[in-house]
Amino acid sequence: VCQNPYDLWLQYDKIEDKTLLDSYKKQVSNVYLNLNSPTGDVIKEEIEKSFKGLLHIEPKFDNKTPNLIISTLNKLDPSLKKKLSKTSNINDEGYVIQHISEKGESKIILSAKTEKGLLYGVFNFIKQIQLHKDLSKLTIVDSPKIQKRVLNHWDNLDRSVERGYAGFSIWDWYLLPELIKQEYIDYARANASIGINGTVLTNVNSNALVLSPRYIQKLKALANVFRPYGIQVYLTARFSAPIETGDLETADPLNAEVKQWWKDKAEEIYTEIPDFGGFLVKANSEGQPGPNNYGRSHVDGANMLAEAVAPYDGIIMWRAFVYSEEKPEDRAKQAYSEFKPFDGKFKDNVLVQVKNGAIDFQPREPFHPLFGAMPDTPLMMEFQITQEYLGGMSHLVFLPKLFEEVLEEDTYTQGKGSTVGKIIDGQLSNKKLTGMAGVANIGTAKNWTGHQFGQANWYGFGRLAWNPETSAETIAKDWLKMTFSNNAEFVDPMSKLLLDSREAVVNYMTPLGLHHIMAAGHHQGPGPWVKDMPRPDWTSVYYHKADENGIGFDRTSSGSNALDQYASEIQEKYSDPATTPDKYLLWFHHLPWNYKMKSGKTLWYEITAHYQKGVEQVEDMQKTWQKMQKYVDPQVFKETNMLLDIQLKEAKQWRNACLLYFQQFSKMDLPDLIPEIT
Ligand code: GCU
């Protein structure tokens, strides 16, 4: 086994099964490819690379008697085109891969409306080989369900990465635009392979310097690298940039000079980068400047920027992550209170970007109440791939399970079945712009993500952004097979490990609806005792509210009534602790320690049992991993072992710290299932 972690899921090791190998070699011995473009070159290179690796053949590109035909639909021989099923169903980024028989000869046709569609199709075709699929049965008609599939890099210009655990930023601003690092190309290739089509290069806590002419040249160099891979670049826009650059004295969005400043800036950028994607904006949030500084609203700010980029088909991704210590309202309610009244008021090229939950990327949160509440506004999902609150790079946590849970939640806002996924992909919105963002976990680490298994989260984000209905299980299995091995003795236990890993982290960090009880500032490790912070809503005690009477945040009508922001079906169910799912219990209710749970046990007992279970789940992960040595690269095996040791140590720290802390209020004994802790 010699996987190279740098190559991510694009491992092209030779197929060992000789029968399979021989049949593949026969089926794709001769490739028709007739594209004269940078994307065409990328496609050709990928075919060459994968066939050389997986099949040990140099593909022939002899256009006379091909058995693998890669062509856009408009150039495809009409007799072949006729045989393709359902091509009308694909959109501009979609593709068809189909095995057909013509005059007794078998052929595989890969076709799309655009070259970008072909590129996605080619990666999927290669994946079929990586997954050892039977090519003679292929009929794949696929298109992305979401338009803007975007990574958000929280990367600073000094190359530090906010909440980044995989080294420094891969963008070497100092050496750009002259030095084009191979990583930029490999990054684009990896993203294209999972359908990601945009990247915001800079931190949401933004620096206006990136909008200066010098940086635009650097940005242009990256955009040129990414373009053949179908990836657009975006920047974060600091709202006060007109002032910080020294040009103006105000950044008031209704001021004519300010409007013109942004229009000129947009023109300047688009002159250099005609396919620039647009801006992501964090405004009036956690101290960032914004329209509120001038008594203006989020709509005023977003629409002003939207106008500036509209002539170039640019978009504005305006974040709804807003909360203010000046407001007495429960932090979980504030974004809804502030944004819902603006439904239908944003310009057509604005996406409101909403985090999956109302607090902040916790191991588990109920879905954000804004989903479903703004049918006349396109809402973009923001997931966090980097593990800010989930153990940084040292914990193995398979996030697609978390993402899947959110996307499958029913908002009921347009009747039963109004899932978050359907709101995000536009099925339930009266607007047609759609998007999903993932806060990247990528850095200069040799394997990109620090923890080898962080790669699965990048991969999984891409798959769900393409199709939010993809199951976490499919993602886990595909990733394991592509990265390591198709052997069922590896894939079956390891996919179980991945799929269970998310619940494990919830159990040992924040079971039963607890949230935001991490250590202050860095958010790594337990900190339920955190109470002296610059803002009350940055403490832990604000969220768990533990005292001698009980624990949990009452968000029903007797408390903050955040529940009121959800549809009546959810309100009915969650207003009573007896019908609230255990996983959200302490999110919505403050309950006495001896509250009788569905299990018949006390709340205190269940809290302790969940913490203990989380620890045991990590022990199980270790046991499974021990059996996988022969399927993985020795270095990856060793390193993952050491990381799992850290994870177990930290899971125990979480259990011990939280139980000892909460016990001073519960004043109840630790049940026998908990080992002696100090
Ligand atoms: C979290 C995170 C910050 C980040 C913020 C955001 O609060 O801790 O580092 O800037 O989210 O999403 O804007």
The three state secondary structure string of 114-147 is CHHHHHHHHHHHHHHHHCCCCHHHCEEEECCCCC
What is the β-pairing status of strands 278-281 and 315-319?
parallel
364 plus 226 within the same structural domain = yes
Q: What is the CATH number of the domain that holds 318?
A: 3.20.20.80
Residue % of the chain over a pLDDT of 70: 100
Predicted confidence (pLDDT) at residue 224 exceeds the cutoff of 90: yes
CA 156 to centroid of ligand 1, rounded, Å: 13
84 plus 190 within the same structural domain = no
190 plus 255 within the same structural domain = yes
Q: Are 544 and 528 in contact (CB under 8 A)?
A: yes
Rounded to whole angstroms, the Cα distance separating 319 from 587 reads 24
In a domain? residue 502: no
246 plus 194 within the same structural domain = yes
131 plus 204 within the same structural domain = no
pLDDT at 677 (0 to 100): 85
pLDDT at 32 (0 to 100): 96
Task: Tally helices (H) and strands (E) across the chain.
Answer: 20, 13
In a domain? residue 579: no
125 plus 229 within the same structural domain = no
Which candidate, 407, 435, 386, places its Cα nearest to that of 149?
435
pLDDT at 430 (0 to 100): 85
Task: Report the atom number in ligand 1 closest to the C-alpha of 285.
Answer: 13
Final residue of a structural domain among 142, 165, 194: 142
In a domain? residue 220: yes
Overall number of domains in the chain = 2
Please report which residue ranges of 510-583 form alpha helices under DSSP H: 541-544, 568-574
Predicted confidence (pLDDT) at residue 62 exceeds the cutoff of 90: no
What pLDDT band is residue 64 in, cutting at 50, 70 and 90? confident
- Catalytic-labelled residue, pool 155, 330, 338, 360: 360
Phi, psi dihedrals of residue 98, rounded to the nearest 5°: -145, 135
CA 17 to centroid of ligand 1, rounded, Å: 48
Final residue of a structural domain among 102, 117, 142: 142
Least confident of 75-89, 112-126, 156-170: 75-89
132 plus 156 within the same structural domain = no
Rounded to whole angstroms, the Cα distance separating 499 from 397 reads 9
User: Ligand 1, atom 1: nearest CA belongs to which residue?
Assistant: 360
Question: Which residue range is the domain that position 121 belongs to?
Answer: 5-142
Confirm whether 360 is a catalytic residue.
yes
In a domain? residue 335: yes
Structure tokens at 520: 């202050």
Task: Report the atom number in ligand 1 closest to the C-alpha of 163.
Answer: 9
pLDDT per position as a tens digit, 312-345:
999 999 999 999 888 889 999 999 999 999 999 9
Name every protein residue with a CB atom under 6 angstroms from any ligand 1 atom: 162-163, 204-205, 282, 286, 321, 360, 388
SS3 (DSSP) at 481:
helix
Confirm whether 247 is a catalytic residue.
no
Final residue of a structural domain among 90, 110, 142: 142
What is the spatial order of strands in the sheet that 139-142 belongs to? 31-33, 68-72, 105-112, 95-102, 139-142
Q: Are 70 and 122 in contact (CB under 8 A)?
A: yes
230 plus 287 within the same structural domain = yes
What pLDDT band is residue 103 in, cutting at 50, 70 and 90? confident
Please report which residue ranges of 163-239 form alpha helices under DSSP H: 182-193, 213-226
pLDDT per position as a tens digit, 346-386:
999 999 999 999 999 999 999 999 999 999 999 999 999 99
349 plus 383 within the same structural domain = yes
ipTM over 0.90: yes
137 plus 155 within the same structural domain = no
Q: What is the CATH number of the domain that holds 133?
A: 3.30.379.10
